[in-house]
Amino acid sequence: MESNEASVPFLRRVARDLTRQHQGQLHRLGIILPSRRAERSLRHAFSLEADGPVMSPGIWSIESVMMGFAGRRPVSPVEQLLALYHVHQTETDAEALEDFLKWGPTLLRDFGEIDRHGVDAQALYRELKEVETLAEWGLDLPTDLMQRRLNLWLKMPRLYQG
């Protein structure tokens, strides 16, 4: 029995245990999970545990709870890109939107990683600019493209703050 139970996915075991502990009263529970994926998985696990129609507990992701408290809705990826492009236009000699769309989504993901890991963006981009400068050290005079790339590294903290 013990080895069988270990092979059951964690959220399925949670659903099973809560269903047993709160028979007929699941609707009185509220569960907050770290991600939307976990929220969907737990909802599915409860549906597998139900013998018939049952009122399930309230299940939310921490993101949806925080958005509810803040009275806001998540910003779509397209809205994020357009906002970043607008900041990019005000902070740099911006290229056309078509060219920006080639690397803008990557920059947004990088900004998300900076936020998730609590990295000091100013220090990070200063270091990356230095690495880029060292990589080009000893080469002939910097080309226009090389200079534009170095300048972009210098402006990254402002893009991040925008």
Would you state the pLDDT for residue 1?
Answer: 46
**Distance between CA 113 and CA 107 in Å, rounded?**
10
What tens digit of pLDDT does each residue of 121-136 get? 888 888 887 887 777 6
Residue type, 101: L
Of 39, 55, 70, the last residue of a domain is 70
Per-residue pLDDT at 106: 92
Looking at 70, 91, 120, which one is the last position of a domain? 70
Tokens linked to 101: 């769309």
17, 66, 11: which is closest to 39 by C-alpha? 11
28 secondary structure, DSSP code = G
Find the mean pLDDT for residues 18-41: 93
pLDDT per position as a tens digit, 39-88: 999 999 999 998 888 888 999 999 899 988 888 887 888 999 999 999 88
pLDDT, the chain, mean: 85
Are the beta carbons of 80 and 56 closer than 8 angstroms? no
Instruction: Count other Cβ atoms within 10 Å, centred on residue 147.
Output: 12
Domain that holds residue 15: 2-70
> What is the domain count for the chain?
2
